[in-house]
Amino acid sequence: MAGINRAYNVNKSESRSNLLQGKECVFISHHKSDLDDCKKIADYLMKANIDVYLDEYDYDLKEQVQKQNPKGVVNCISKGISNSTHMLCVLSSQTIYSKWVPWELGYGYDKTDLGAITLKGIAEASLPDYLKTVRLIRGTQSLNQYISDVLGYSKEYLKMYSRIDEHLKPYHYLDNVLDWQL
């Protein structure tokens, strides 16, 4: 079993069912230039059977952006955050230029279990102060621990059922996206 992207319209009925059942969902807050890396992180979370909200497939949101309707954009993002249990802010050198990431974090601060994940090569010293107050995920090894904590299963259990991968192979799926450990 795998998680779904709740932003994807095709998943609307399953999304509603998962929401009503209280299934975990991670809202992925990011700068648009980091979308490819965010997709890989989202895929890894879904492989672990965690739902995500990654805006790439939210066609209602895209329509509001095209219409240049800020209120509609805010409504779509608010809905995505409100229907999520967790939020991960993806931190890169571009995140500081985002217009929406700070707003999303502020909106989700009391509504979700907030965390931040640094992309490969991002120094902790470069993080904005407001993110130094949340759980910081630095590398694939700590992402595996995060997944374990979100799901309430040990990493050993998750490895046994192929929900997470250890770095035993010459190449890990997220090696180009995250450091292994810091």
pLDDT at position 167 over 80? no
Alpha-carbon distance 102 to 84, whole Å? 17
Average pLDDT over residues 94-122: 92
Q: Average pLDDT in the 57-76 region?
A: 95
3-state SS string over the chain?
A: CCCCECCCHHHHHHHHHHHHCCCCEEEEECCHHHHHHHHHHHHHHHHCCCEEECHHHCHHHHHHHHCCCHHHHHHHHHHHHHCCCEEEEEECCCHHHCCCHHHHHHHHCCCCEEEEEECCCCCHHHCCHHHCCCEEECCHHHHHHHHHHHHCCCHHHHHHCCCCCCCCCCCCCCCCCCCCCC
The residue among 58 and 96 whose pLDDT is bigger is 58
175 residue type, one letter: D
The CB-side HSE value for 149 (13 A sphere, CA atoms) comes to 13
pLDDT tier, 84 (very low <50, low <70, confident <90, very high otherwise): very high
pLDDT of 121 reads 87
Q: Residue range 100-119: average pLDDT?
A: 94
Q: Which long-range contacts (CB under 8 A, 24 or more apart) does 10-18 make?
A: 15/51, 15/83, 18/51
Query: What's the pLDDT at 11?
Result: 77
User: Rounded to whole angstroms, how far apart are CA atoms 162 and 151?
Assistant: 14
At 87, the amino acid letter reads: M
The tokens describing 13, both together, are: 């009925």
pTM: 0.93
In the chain, the percentage of residues whose pLDDT exceeds 90 is 74
- With 70 as the cut, is the pLDDT of residue 181 above it? no
Could you give the strand order of the β-sheet that contains 135-137, starting from the edge strand earlier in sequence?
Answer: 51-53, 25-29, 86-91, 113-118, 135-137
1, pLDDT greater than 80 = no
- Per-residue model confidence as pLDDT tens digits over 113-149: 999 999 998 888 888 888 888 999 998 999 999 999 9
Q: What is the CA radius of gyration of the chain?
A: 16
